[in-house]
Amino acid sequence: MLVVGGVIGSGIFRKPGVMASQLGSPELLLVVWVLAGVITLFGALTNAEIASLIPETGGQFVYFERMYGPFFAFLYGWALFAIIQCGSIAAVAYVFAEYSTQFIMLPEASAEVAAWSFRLPFIGDVTPFKELGTKGLAAAVILLLTVVNYLGVKFGGIVQDIFTIAKVAAMVLLMLGAFLLPTGGTVSNLTTPSATIQLGGLAMFAGIAAALQGAFWAYDGWNKITYIAGEVKNPPRNIPFGLFWGMLIVTGIYVLMNVAYAYVLPIDDMAKSKLVAADVAEKISPGGGRWIALAVMISTFGAANAIILATARVYFSMAQRNVFPRFLGRVHPRFHTPAASLVVQGIWSALLLLSGTFDTLTDTLIFVSWIFYAAGAYGIFILRRKMPDAPRPYKVPGYPIVPWVFVVFSVIYLGFTIYNDVIIYRAAIAAGQPAMINSVFGVALVIIGTPIYFFYRTRKKNVGQL
């Protein structure tokens, strides 16, 4: 439930339209979703061996400490806080609030206030007050779920189970409606390319890389179960089990959802759609768009809960190692949860809402995430050298091919992402529009953690001398 619930959030409802405009082919769209699922599964299988070898609360922070030492581990933990996980919480809550406008009217700032922006050197423009009503409701959702998880992991787990079942059921109903109702689509839509979007050569690879960014956002979250490994019964068995079967379920659902989208809507109609699922539901059943809006709200609420539940354990683990403020390592005396970490995480996630739009947040955090995903997969080779005789209840199948495929693919993907970001930024500036180089923004947030690390390192030495 944690893997499926943590992965399935807003991406499958929001990204396919953008991806269709980047690819212009229904077949290529499906290939990208399958490719992203396979590569993500390779990463999950590789991570599962590490999780079974080191079944401790803290997840990849602990793994990186064993692989590369305390500095790299700290940068990862800082990146989680600065953008990866807090940004994910903000982005998912943002989509929840976005779709709530189907049912309620949210107040917004005046046009002058909403348009105000400021420029960060070498990064781009930030518009903090744009869609202020949406951001305000998203902040309220973050606060509510932080309180839920503050009260106990069991309570948070119950919420997770309920919302995971509800959102998967809603997706299954949409797929059945697309294929079974007489108002559905046609098989020819699955093979008819775009009349206007034609890709070839380097442009095709750039388009695939851009589309993969959307797909990887939809698949992101598969590693969250490793953050609470120390609180899972029989982790050497259950962590790999949850990762493997959870990712197979998610990949199957995503591919079927996109087949349903492409079956109902021609690729050019998909490319123009901001919310493909709502357009599909509206076509097969009048008023279906509101039901899909409700499904998206259910999905994003559950996904935000999964992220909040799992990630606070990383800051908790870092604080216990004296590389983060000590109060973040305190356990609530009554609820036995990392209460301080949850509160700080909630505050920063709400502040990140002001940094930009949904796409800015997701593109930035996915780029940074895949830097560490690549490093984590490569770390399996390091651990096999450092700990050759350690018991490994689970070993990644296809070693060393599976982890090497994941590492090489990650490096290529990151390179094309930087290329796309620069091209898009230049085009926006030339058109006189505000823009941001998302990959540079993400790296900048990570680098900010360097002086923080050395501050705590120096403090630890001084305390030791005293």
Q: Tens digits of per-residue pLDDT, 160-175?
A: 667 777 777 878 888 8
Output the CA angle 147-317-39, nearest 5 degrees. Answer: 90
3-class DSSP state of 118:
strand
Give the end-to-end CA distance of the chain in Å, rounded to a whole number.
48
User: Which band of pLDDT confidence, cut at 50, 70 and 90, is reported for residue 225?
Assistant: low
Tokens matching residue 34: 């399958």
Q: Which of 420, 42, 421, 20 is nearest to 205 (CA)?
A: 420
Q: Which of 278, 290, 294, 265 is nearest to 169 (CA)?
A: 294
| pLDDT tens, residue by residue, 29-56 | 999 999 999 999 898 888 888 877 887 7
Q: How far apart are CA 383 and CA 368, in angstroms?
A: 23
Q: What's residue 431's pLDDT?
A: 79
* Alpha helices by DSSP H, 181-234: 202-219
What would you measure as the largest C-alpha separation in the chain, in angstroms?
Answer: 78
Output the CA angle 66-70-72, nearest 5 degrees. Answer: 90
Q: How far apart are CA 273 and CA 15, in angstroms?
A: 10
Tokens matching residue 441: 């923004």
Residue bearing tokens 């994941």: 406
Write the CB contacts of 75 (distance below 8 Å, at least 6 apart in sequence): 446, 449, 450, 453
- Please state the rounded mean pLDDT for residues 244-266: 90
What is the average pLDDT value for the chain, to the nearest integer? Answer: 82
Tokens matching residue 446: 């990570």
pLDDT at 231 over 80: no
pLDDT at 274 over 60: yes
Q: What's residue 1's pLDDT?
A: 72
Q: Which of 87, 68, 78, 122 is nearest to 448 (CA)?
A: 78
- Give the pTM: 0.81
User: Which band of pLDDT confidence, cut at 50, 70 and 90, is reported for residue 224?
Assistant: low
Q: How far apart are CA 400 and CA 170, in angstroms?
A: 39
Here the CATH number for the domain that contains residue 269 is 1.20.1740.10
Q: How far apart are CA 298 and CA 292, in angstroms?
A: 10
Give the torsion sign (CA, 345, 351, 353, 356): negative
Return the exposure string of 221-233: e unless at least 16 CB atoms fall within 10 Å of the residue's CB, then b: bbbbbbbbbeebe
3-class DSSP state of 337:
coil
Let me know how many helices (H) and strands (E) the chain has, helices first. Answer: 20, 2
DSSP 8-state code for residue 102 = T
- Please state the rounded mean pLDDT for residues 439-448: 89
Q: Which of 28, 135, 41 is nearest to 89 (CA)?
A: 135
Give the torsion sign (CA, 77, 232, 321, 45): negative
Q: How far apart are CA 124 and CA 253, in angstroms?
A: 36
Q: What's residue 221's pLDDT?
A: 74
Please report, as a single letter, which amino acid is at residue 376: G
Q: Could you tell me the residue range of the domain that residue 312 belongs to?
A: 2-465
Q: What's residue 466's pLDDT?
A: 42
Residue bearing tokens 């908790």: 316
Return the exposure string of 32-54: e unless at least 16 CB atoms fall within 10 Å of the residue's CB, then b: bbebbbebbbbbbbbbbbbbbbb
**Domain total in the chain:** 1
Question: Across 35-39, 114-118, 149-153, which has the greatest mean pLDDT?
Answer: 35-39
Q: How far apart are CA 428 and CA 229, in angstroms?
A: 44
- Provide φ and ψ at 68, rounded to 5°: -120, -5
